[in-house]
Each structure stands twice: as structure tokens, then as C-alpha cells.
Chains A and B, each alone.
Chain A
Amino acid sequence: MNEPAVVLDGVSVTYGRHEALRNVTAELPTGAIGLLGPNGAGKSTLIKALLGLLPPSSGRMRVLGYDVRESPLAIRARVGYMPESDAHMRGMTAVSFVAYCGELAGLPSSNAMQRAHEVLFYVGLGEARYRNVETYSTGMKQRIKLAQALVHDPDLLFLDEPTNGMDPKGRDEMLALVRDIATMKAITLILSSHLLPDVEFACDHVLVLNRGAVAAQGPIATLKGTSGRVFELRVKGGNASFLDAIRAEGLGCDGETTGVLRVYVPEQRPTQALFQIAAQHGVQVRHLRASVPSLEDVFARALGEPLDAARGKEV
């Protein structure tokens, strides 16, 4: 199926006097797409508009082949939404809540109950599914939001900050689930998050919004572009004479204060030279990698911000 999952054509959405989306034209293919942008860029407005909850002042939108203006209910029956903020219903256990959501999406009640159990196991809440949702921890609340979005087996899933408030282990598990959903279960994902490494891990496409307009869109790999001959280098036992020796060889070097050196190696010189200098000075090379622009650089470039020359990231 090569038809794009979402098509936006000149979409504008106005909130009172504020233009939240301005003439947005984009095509989101099937797969996993990251939705990025500063606060107030229009990400949640976009999601609401695609769910048919906000009528646009101009433009057309198609989701999964349906026109949003004509068939919003048909779309919502095939789309799952995992909201950012806490959302549950008073006094219900996990199974009954998820089953109810399934019924609201059109499933007959017995099927909804079966699906609820299955989906709760899938998201890792199997043991706790008979407990009242109000007693859940943050991580569990995130999972149940995912469960209610999956219960009706959607073709498209909107995830808004899925790892919000979760501890590192929970984040890993959630991201693994997200990745599994996107790759193995053939469900298209639109992931909105401020955590770029999460997006980089789970998605292959991004759409960057800024002030209501599209700032960049496309496959992550294409947007990143090719790297130059800059290497990240971390050593053990390095000292001033080692750095002098590197510079003496005509290889530029900076970042000594951060623990990760950035070495500029001209095209003709092989990396062997670095190792030789290290061996000569009794220094162990512990990390050597060609520096690749990160998704953060793509984001910064898209927003017209200056790139951070000395990133100072300790790896």
C-alpha cells in the first residue's frame, strides 16, 4: 500500500484570532513519522484537525484515504489516539476501561472484552489489569493510554509524548513497544515528542512545524545529509603532548574540556594516523566515530537556529 497515510493540502486552522496552522501542505507516508516543533508550533492543533475535531478554515485533509470533512467518524474508527495528559475514567478497572473504549470504537461488547485483555498483556499490564486505574503509577498510566488507543486495532496511531514521566526502564520499554508497533505490526505511527533521540529511535520520517507552518519534512536519513570528515574521539591517558602531536600532524582538534575531542581529518589522511599518534604516546583510543549530524541539527536548521558547534556531549 503506497498511498500516503495522511495528506494535507493548504490547511489553515484558526483559533479565534490566532492562526494555529497556516497553509500546511504535507504528505505523511505509512510507517513511523515524527512530529516535531517548538511549543505552540501547531502540533496538537494538527492532530485535532486530523481527528476531525477542529474544522479547518481552508484546505483539505485526507487520512487513510478518507476525507476528514466528509467522514470524520470513519476516520476515528480506524485511528487510535494516545493523549499526552492523563486520561482515565473514574472508578473503572483497567479491563473495563479498555473494553469500554473498544465498544465506543464500534466493537461488540464480547469482542471488546477479549481485545482488552490481549492488548493489556501486550503493553505489559497483564498482571495489573483487574486493578482500579486510579491506583496506577505513572508508567502504568502511560501504558493504559496506549492500550485504549490500540484496542480497536487502528491503522493509524497518534502518540503524544508517550514516555512522559516514565523512568528510564519504562521509557525503554515504551519505545520498544512503539518500535514494535511501527515495524512488526504494520500500524502507521505519528509520534509527537520533544525528545529527539526517541523520535530518532522509533521513526524514519519527520515533519517539523514552526509557528503553524511546515519547516521541514522528509525521511530522517535524507534530511540529515552526509557527514564530513569530522571524527569524535575519546581516549584514556590523553594529555597535552598528545593533543599537540595531533595538531602537529595537521589534524585540527578541539573540545578538550568536554572529554570528547572533535578531530578534523583532511580527505587524504586515513584514520590510521590517529591511532599511530595514540600508540606512540601510550594513549588508548576508546571511542572513534565519524561525526554524523543528529536529528537535533536537522531540527535546529529547520527552525533557522544556529547549529551548536561545540556540542560537548560526553559519550
Chain B
Amino acid sequence: MIIATERLSKWYGQVSGLNDVTVSVPEGITGLLGPNGAGKSTFMKLVTGQLRPSTGTVRVFGEPIWGNPAQYHKLGFCPEQDAFYDHMTGREWLEALAELHGMNADTAHAAATRALEAVDLLDAGDRKIGGYSKGMRQRVKLAQAIAHDPALLILDEPLSGMDPLMRRRTIRLIKEWARAGKTVVVSSHILHEIEAMTSNILLMHNGRIVAEGDVHQIRALIDEHPHRVWIRAQDPHAVARLLLGGDDVSSVKFAEEGVIVETAKPDAFYTRLTALAASGEAGAIEEVTSPDDNLQAVFSYLVKQ
């Protein structure tokens, strides 16, 4: 496990940031989600060694991270805040930060060039940061996170301020980094973008972990909440009639050109549906979607008022 916490708690005077959190973050991309105030930034600061745990431990690559600067070169952090030395150029800033990691001037220069290239800022690298657009500032923040080639990346709202095409490119970039062997933890409120990157999530609320793992598995486990399935068919009534025959269906509703079915036994139901569609008994079935087998639904359900 890349990050492992054991009964980790952090409080600020009376205010509780994290409450007895025991979790492991595996390799690959993990989405860190939760409402505002859930403890995500506290968690990220503890993992990057910026805060000292009040109780419990947090280990990164097997070693405790607090007060352990030797480990810092393995981490790359892209914070949410926008705070730069506007009078420096992008390249100067990246090189300065790289040198802080212990690189000499030449290595830093090469690292900065690589990083600028990765985020497509090579030509703008020699302009002052003060003149950058929002999207460019965000990209240079990402660049500093990867310049020293860390094995673990912690990204807080990495796509903020970016236009749609840059968002897509950055998502692709993050997936490339994961494919190259880095572990990435991405925190974002934009759920469909997390979904585009990964299905492994860590959901927090009120300073505690609410769910971790594959989002579809989590969804499957939420039995009490029946799955809704939307089926568009040539003959909705025939479909409804035949589906009602089984005990895996708890309700059938008609809508537009199809039916919305609720089921508490998704495996049994989908098998039966596939067979039904294959046999053609109820006519042609054109579309099958589950509007709530996604991150948004899992999130809303688990993070109730």
C-alpha cells in the first residue's frame, strides 16, 4: 500500500479535522471525495507531511512522513490555492523549486524543461507568471508537482480554471502518469471528471471515511437502495409484462419510450434481461442504462444531510 494510515486523527483546538481514520491507498489513481469540510485537505496535508497527526500514524511508502524530509522527494503536491511569485517566469519558478529538492542547476533546468513540456507550457515558460491566464497558472502548478518525478502525486482540484479541452488533456495526462507507475490521489468536486479518471474512490464525510474502493462494488453493496434501470424498447408493455414475472424486480414504471425498473438483485435481474433481449420475446431492446450506477448517486446516497 502506498499510503497507510492507522487510527489517524487531527484536531485544531476544539475543531475536529480527521477522526480516527484507518485507510490504505493502493497504486493507481484514487479519487478523494467529500463535501466541503469533510477533512480532505486535512488528510492531504497529513499525507504530505505538512501537519503533524494528533494521534495515530500515517505512513507513505512504508515510512512515517511527518518530520521525515528525506521522503519528501517522493511526493508531489498540487494545492488548490493560487499563490505564486508573479514576477518570476514559469521556468525560473520551477527551477527554484527543483533546486529546493536538492537538484543542481543543470538537473533542475532539465527537469523544468521536461515538466513544462508535459503540461504544454514550453513556449510560455519564459514569460512572467503574473501574465499567465488562469489555466496556465494551474498548469504550472501541476508542473511543479511532477518536476522532481515523484512516485506519489497528491492533486487538489487540479482542473480548476481550465477550459473544457484542457481539462480533457489534463485527465489524459494524469492517466498517463498512472500508467507510468505513479500513484495519484485526486481530490475534486466535479464527480464526472473523477469518473473519467478512475473507479477507485475514497469518500470522506465529517472527518471520517465513508467508503473506499471500486465505485461499482460500493454501489452493488448498497442493497437497501434498489438499482434503477432504464430500458428503451420497441414494445415497453411487453417488456414490462415479461420482467414482472421474476422476483428480482421490485417495481416497474413507464416513461417516455421505455420502462424504469427497480431491482434489489442486480445480478439475477441483468442475467434475465440479457436473455430476454437475446431471445427477442419482448421485441427489440434498444437501450439499457442505469442512471444511478455512477459516482454521483453513490455520493448522494452515502453523504446524506
Q: A residues bordering B, Cβ < 8 Å?
A: 36-40, 137-139, 165-172, 194-197, 236, 259, 270-272, 275-276, 278-280, 283-290, 296, 299-300, 303, 305, 308, 311-315
Minimum-distance CB pairs A-B, first 6: A275-B277, A284-B270, A279-B278, A275-B278, A276-B278, A39-B133
Question: Of A196, A276, A280, A285, which one neighbours B164 at CB under 8 angstroms?
Answer: A196
- What are 11 contact pairs spanning A and B, CB under 8 A? A39-B135, A165-B189, A167-B34, A168-B189, A168-B300, A194-B161, A275-B285, A283-B274, A288-B289, A315-B195, A315-B289
A296 to B164, CA, bound (A): 7
A271 to B192, CA, bound (A): 27
A285 to B168, CA, bound (A): 28
CB under 8 Å from chain A, chain B span 155-188: 161-168, 175
Query: In the assembled complex, which residues on chain B have CB atoms less than 8 Å from the CB atom of A289?
Result: 287-289
Residue ID in chain B nearest A171 by CB atoms: B189
A284 & B271 in contact (Cβ 8 Å cutoff): yes
Residue ID in chain A nearest B273 by CB atoms: A285
A137 to B36, CA, bound (A): 9
B 182-220 binary contact with A (CB < 8 Å = 1; else 0): 000000011110011001000000000000000000000
Query: In the assembled complex, which residues on chain A have CB atoms less than 8 Å from the CB atom of B19?
Result: none
A194 & B167 in contact (Cβ 8 Å cutoff): yes
Residue ID in chain B nearest A169 by CB atoms: B35
CB under 8 Å from chain A, chain B span 260-295: 267, 270-271, 273-275, 277-280, 284-290, 293-294
B274 & A168 in contact (Cβ 8 Å cutoff): no
Residue ID in chain A nearest B135 by CB atoms: A39
A284 to B275, CA, bound (A): 9
B163 & A288 in contact (Cβ 8 Å cutoff): no
Residue ID in chain B nearest A311 by CB atoms: B196
A278 & B274 in contact (Cβ 8 Å cutoff): yes
Q: B residues bordering A, Cβ < 8 Å?
A: 33-37, 133-136, 161-168, 175, 189-192, 195-196, 199, 267, 270-271, 273-275, 277-280, 284-290, 293-294, 296, 299-300, 303
Instruction: Given A39-B163, A168-B299, A314-B196, answer yes or no on A275-B294 (Cβ-Cβ < 8 Å).
Output: no
A284 & B164 in contact (Cβ 8 Å cutoff): no
Residue ID in chain A nearest B231 by CB atoms: A288
Question: Of A168, A271, A279, A288, which one neighbours B191 at CB under 8 angstroms?
Answer: A168
Query: In the assembled complex, which residues on chain A have CB atoms less than 8 Å from the CB atom of B166?
Result: 38
Question: Of B135, B275, B299, which one neighbours A279 at CB under 8 angstroms?
Answer: B275
Instruction: Given A36-B164, A40-B133, A305-B165, answer yes or no on A288-B270 (Cβ-Cβ < 8 Å).
Output: no
A236 to B133, CA, bound (A): 44
**Most chain A beta carbons < 10 A, residue from B286, B290, B299:** B286
B163 & A272 in contact (Cβ 8 Å cutoff): no
A314 & B199 in contact (Cβ 8 Å cutoff): yes
Q: How far is the CB of B199 from chain A (nearest CB, A)?
A: 6
Instruction: Given A168-B191, A168-B296, A259-B199, answer yes or no on A288-B278 (Cβ-Cβ < 8 Å).
Output: no
Question: Of A171, A236, A288, which one neighbours B287 at CB under 8 angstroms?
Answer: A288
A40 to B161, CA, bound (A): 12
Query: In the assembled complex, which residues on chain B have CB atoms less than 8 Å from the CB atom of A284?
Result: 267, 270-271, 273-274
A236 & B163 in contact (Cβ 8 Å cutoff): no
A303 to B273, CA, bound (A): 42
A197 to B189, CA, bound (A): 13
Query: In the assembled complex, which residues on chain A have CB atoms less than 8 Å from the CB atom of B168?
Result: 296, 308
Query: In the assembled complex, which residues on chain A have CB atoms less than 8 Å from the CB atom of B195?
Result: 313-315
Query: In the assembled complex, which residues on chain A have CB atoms less than 8 Å from the CB atom of B175?
Result: 312
